[in-house]
Amino acid sequence: MLLAPDGRVENFVMNDKCAAGTGRFLEVMARVLDVELSVLADLDLEAAAPARISSTCTVFAESEVISQLASGADAHALAAGIALSVATQTASLAKRAGVEPPVCMTGGVAKNGGVVRALERLLGTTVSTSPRSQLAGAIGAALLALESIENSR
């Protein structure tokens, strides 16, 4: 979402084709690597380089990661590759929207440090997040509801 200086939405794009780049993608990959989602978030930190995850489809990427694990691939490199895959999808959408700093990321995926770090590299700027990023949509909806109630009085 690209916001105008006054806070209005100037442009909006979203991935409406599949689960690539979503929390579900990360959940599946954490299960394949046999780690908690919170562990996956920083597993990339010890990677020498990201493993190549060529598929953006969750089902195909799952098979790809399983195959790489069976071939002896390093879990840290796979985690970095998974984060890069999600960040690449997100950066593509952000660039289509016309991204420019400052950049803020909300939603549950923003809690994954590996994705945020990869996104920062791809966009060439700092990406701000909140510890409660997964609640941003709910908080926004609650504020809109409150505003609606106050305006109807």
Output the average pLDDT for the chain. Answer: 92
Inter-residue contact 82 to 29 (CB < 8 Å):
yes
pLDDT band at 132 (very low <50, low <70, confident <90, very high): very high
**DSSP reduced 3-state for 96:** helix
d(CA 78, CA 83) in angstroms, rounded, equals 9
- Set out the domains of the chain in order of their start, with CATH numbers: 2-151 (3.30.420.40)
pTM for the model stands at 0.87
| 89: its two tokens | 């999808």
The tens digit of pLDDT for each residue in 67-103 reads 999 999 999 999 999 999 999 989 999 999 999 999 9
